[in-house]
Structure 1
Amino acid sequence: MEEKVAVNNYIKICQMIHSITKMDVTLIDSDGNTLFESINHSIPVVVDHPDNEYNHINEILINHQSNHYYHHINPYGLEYMAVGIWRDQSFNGSLIIGPFISSILVIDLIKEIMIKNSLPIGERKQLEQFYQSLPVLSEIESNSIGEMLVNLCGHQYINAQAFSSSIIKPVINYDQLKITIEEDKDIIEDRYQHQNKLMDAITKGDRDEVNHLIDSLIDVFVGFSDRVPGNPIRSSKNMGFVCNTLYRVAAERSGVHPVYLHNISERFAILIERTNTLPSLKKLMFSMAIEYCDLVRTFSTGHYSPIVKKAVDYILLNLGYPITLHTIAKQIHVNPSHLSRKFKEDTGMNITEYINQKRVGEAKLYLQRGNISMTDIAFMVGFNDLNYFSKVFKKLTSVTPSQYAKRKL
């Protein structure tokens, strides 16, 4: 009974921390079993923590005094703050907050993680979306969280009792209400016209038109900031969620694969909820429209025939692996000759040319770093031969990989 009460008390602490920080919180017992978790992030399988990671955290904490907290960083750069609960006679375990990251250079972090852990290049976009959704904490912020954990878990839990001021009933001015309704009608019509134009621009991947339309649409949405009385942030966040859904639908119309749509939609849902000022929310909504537009420009396949669309989706999701015409044809259940002919008609390239073009595009991102070996880059993007990689790269860019890397330094 005492253990159950103790666990319930620590669960209440977890819920309180999650509600305030919007960060993932996990409670584990002394054997590393999860007793409670409140999470926003679905960690991609390729970087998910191993089963024994919680045991490792417990082993570290059990050897330290109760006023210590542990800053854990796993091989994928995911960071956690944890505190041990070893002084409670009725329960032993750890309370963990995270994941978060401490670097704002997410793209550089992703490149290092993929190389260090030999992750497939096809996972890059998914990993970028995931890491960009994580909280970025300074050293002071992460240390403050550690100190908070020590203080919250170092005492018996106290059930707080709330009291508040009496509710003052508003006086309704029906004449003013009628005027407001008419004004709202005009605003709503204007908003729908703008949103439809913006959705069309995103579906087309028209960045210039998106830039032209987004400011006026955001201003219209800010006008709705009083729709949750006394809480303009909540109202604006709700509008942000609406925008996220609309942009996702617009990108879906262009033929973007659901994997990419899910990742970007989940990331912005988390970022919207975590934003706490109107200027920051406005900036986020602008970034969201541009990123959905760029996603369409990069991954849209809606202008292809159904067969070629399936082939392109397969290529983009498996770029780091060996891919051949027959492999693709087998996966999408079509005749190789028919696929080859349709692919050439739709894209103007044969499948090998298309694959090489995409792989070289990925290689450019890593060559810009200047500190990664050519062999590592070649293998990461799907070339099994360094000489062939150099030959293809020069054919498509007119320079060798080494020359390109030096030019970008």
Structure 2
Amino acid sequence: MKKGKHEELSKIAQMLNSTTKMDTIVIDPNGNALFQLINHPIPSVLAYPENESMYFNEILSKRPSNYYFHYINTYGLEYMASGIWKGQSFLGSLAVGPFISSISIADRIKDIISKNNLPVAERKHLEQFYQSLPVLGEVEYKHLGELLVNLCGHDYISSQLISSEASVPLLNQDRLKVSIEENKDIIERRYENQNQLMDALARGDKAEVNHLTHTMSGIIEFSNRIPESPIRSSKNMSFVLNTLFRIAAERGGVHPVYLHNISERFAILIERTTNIPDLNKLITLMANEYCDLVNTYATGHYSSIVKKAVDYIKLNLGNNLSLNILAKEIHVNPSYLSRKFKEETGMNISEFINQERVEEAKLYLRRGNISITDIAFLVGYNDLNYFSKVFKKITSVTPSQYADGIGLGGPRP
């Protein structure tokens, strides 16, 4: 590919990446990535094989230049691609994604895990990843395809900017002094409420978190910081809150593995939000989800040794687990670990592992579209009979009865 064309494609890819907030990749005729712009990395378990790039070329090279390709891979990730043409010569493809065309994809995470033999420990990460993806309706992704065709099927035209002169506001020192005095109490109260919110979140006190976020409904309206762009000011404050919530959840004992994914997801959602009321709603959602994370995964109330053991169990639930394996992984004597674990959790390690696995199994059983044998394997049991025995001991019903709704208050309608 000639240098000039390469530079043109680079500019087109940058424009698409900037406006769509989706990953953009330019593929040469041999299926190699000439360059790619990544907004956020796809989890390694979902990384698509290189031959998918060749598949884009194979489909598009056999069609006229006005065709685009809507591709959905085995993980439900969707891409829009168009051929790159110079007259009648096919020069490769340009693809944008991933996105999803149905919000219900988040409900199909368990099916994706089962179908592709993914580790069950990845479920929470995958849920957060899919929830961060843009959702495009049929009209929207068709327009995206048409845009790709028009950008890739013609020569690039350089553009020139015309801008008006920016007006410079006059600084009134007297008014500034009055403004500072007027806002002193408001600012102090805002910071006090912010600290109360962080403390409540670190405790996992969802009722207090909801109360505080409701009373702080104007928390992100700092429009005076960038007068010409209130939405930019509000987004900046939302990014700050995302960081503060992450720190609060970490103080509450949530493992960084879980925090990294949720923090990335909300950073993307904040940037995609286009108005202040929706940002306020997003802040409430963000505070609640961080709070849920504390309630589900926090281990801060345990000693260092037991915390490490619990974190390892939760992150490796689908793998082989035992007292000796845990002791080896966290470098501690098995007898000492067993004693400390029982003292702090009220359960021995085997009981705790079974409790966590049964809770995970319940989620799959409620879905009703994965066999009980597959569910047992997904949550770490190689013996179906043993899984059923453990499940009944903890829930008082068999896995089949629970799947039929008996363990949920009655049979399914």
The answer to whether the Cα contact below 8 Å between 1:187 and 1:220 also exists between their aligned partners in 2 is no
Q: After alignment, is 81-90 or 328-337 more displaced?
A: 81-90
1:220-240: CA deviations, max 9, x gaps? 322x12321221111111011
The answer to whether the Cα contact below 8 Å between 1:46 and 1:119 also exists between their aligned partners in 2 is yes
TM-score between both structures, scaled by the size of structure 1: 0.96
The answer to whether the Cα contact below 8 Å between 2:61 and 2:90 also exists between their aligned partners in 1 is no
The answer to whether the Cα contact below 8 Å between 1:103 and 1:109 also exists between their aligned partners in 2 is no
CA shift at 1:118, angstroms? 1.0
How far, CA to CA, are the matches of 2:20 and 2:178 in structure 1?
40
Partner of 1:343: 341
Q: Structure 1 residues 296, 92: CA separation in 2 closer, same or farther (over 3 Å shift)?
A: same
Partner of 2:109: 110
Partner of 1:372: 370
Matched position secondary structure for 1:86: strand
Q: After alignment, is 84-93 or 388-397 more displaced?
A: 84-93
Matched position secondary structure for 1:208: helix
Partner of 2:168: 169
How far, CA to CA, are the matches of 2:165 and 2:136 in structure 1?
39
Q: Structure 1 residues 253, 391: CA separation in 2 closer, same or farther (over 3 Å shift)?
A: same
1:31-46 mapped onto 2 (5 Å cutoff)? 31-46=30-45
How far, CA to CA, are the matches of 2:164 and 2:364 in structure 1?
59
How far, CA to CA, are the matches of 1:231 and 1:393 in structure 2?
56
Partner of 1:402: 400
Partner of 1:143: 142
Instruction: Pick from 257, 260, 275 the counterpart of residue 259 of structure 1.
Output: 257
How far, CA to CA, are the matches of 2:40 and 2:109 in structure 1?
17
Q: After alignment, is 28-37 or 331-340 more displaced?
A: 28-37
Q: Structure 1 residues 88, 348: CA separation in 2 closer, same or farther (over 3 Å shift)?
A: farther
Instruction: Pick from 231, 237, 240 the counterpart of residue 233 of structure 1.
Output: 231
1:88-127 mapped onto 2 (5 Å cutoff)? 92-127=91-126
The answer to whether the Cα contact below 8 Å between 2:220 and 2:280 also exists between their aligned partners in 1 is no
How far, CA to CA, are the matches of 1:159 and 1:312 in structure 2?
57
How far, CA to CA, are the matches of 2:106 and 2:309 in structure 1?
27
How far, CA to CA, are the matches of 2:226 and 2:144 in structure 1?
31
Partner of 1:131: 130
1:224-278: CA deviations, max 9, x gaps? 1232122111111101100110000001112211100101111111111111111
The answer to whether the Cα contact below 8 Å between 1:191 and 1:221 also exists between their aligned partners in 2 is no
Matched position secondary structure for 1:43: coil
Matched position secondary structure for 1:220: coil
CA shift at 1:182, angstroms? 2.3
Q: After alignment, is 251-260 or 159-168 more displaced?
A: 159-168
Q: Structure 1 residues 63, 349: CA separation in 2 closer, same or farther (over 3 Å shift)?
A: same
Matched position secondary structure for 1:226: helix
1:33-78: CA deviations, max 9, x gaps? 2222222121111111112221121111111110000011111111
* Residue 382 (1) aligns with residue 383 (2): no
Amino acid of the residue matched to residue 229 of structure 2? N
Amino acid of the residue matched to residue 306 of structure 1? S
* Residue 319 (1) aligns with residue 317 (2): yes
How far, CA to CA, are the matches of 1:352 and 1:229 in structure 2?
59
Partner of 2:80: 81
Q: Structure 1 residues 24, 378: CA separation in 2 closer, same or farther (over 3 Å shift)?
A: same
CA shift at 1:91, angstroms? 7.6
Matched position secondary structure for 1:221: coil
CA shift at 1:137, angstroms? 1.0
Matched position secondary structure for 1:214: helix
Partner of 1:243: 241
CA RMSD of aligned residues (A): 1.5
Q: Structure 1 residues 306, 162: CA separation in 2 closer, same or farther (over 3 Å shift)?
A: same
Partner of 1:69: 68
CA shift at 1:135, angstroms? 0.7
How far, CA to CA, are the matches of 1:129 and 1:169 in structure 2?
43
Instruction: Pick from 319, 329, 347 the counterpart of residue 327 of structure 2.
Output: 329
Aligned residues: percent identity? 65
1:269-300: CA deviations, max 9, x gaps? 11111111112111111000000001000110
The answer to whether the Cα contact below 8 Å between 2:85 and 2:152 also exists between their aligned partners in 1 is no
CA shift at 1:170, angstroms? 2.4
CA shift at 1:134, angstroms? 0.7
CA shift at 1:171, angstroms? 3.1
CA shift at 1:32, angstroms? 1.9
TM-score between both structures, scaled by the size of structure 2: 0.95
How far, CA to CA, are the matches of 1:88 and 1:45 in structure 2?
38
The answer to whether the Cα contact below 8 Å between 2:86 and 2:154 also exists between their aligned partners in 1 is no
The answer to whether the Cα contact below 8 Å between 1:256 and 1:296 also exists between their aligned partners in 2 is yes
Partner of 1:214: 213
Q: Structure 1 residues 12, 91: CA separation in 2 closer, same or farther (over 3 Å shift)?
A: farther
Number of matched pairs: 407
The answer to whether the Cα contact below 8 Å between 2:83 and 2:153 also exists between their aligned partners in 1 is no
Partner of 1:58: 57
Amino acid of the residue matched to residue 125 of structure 1? K
The answer to whether the Cα contact below 8 Å between 1:205 and 1:297 also exists between their aligned partners in 2 is yes
Q: After alignment, is 260-269 or 170-179 more displaced?
A: 170-179
Matched position secondary structure for 2:158: coil
Matched position secondary structure for 2:220: helix
How far, CA to CA, are the matches of 2:105 and 2:293 in structure 1?
17
Instruction: Pick from 292, 295, 311 the counterpart of residue 294 of structure 1.
Output: 292
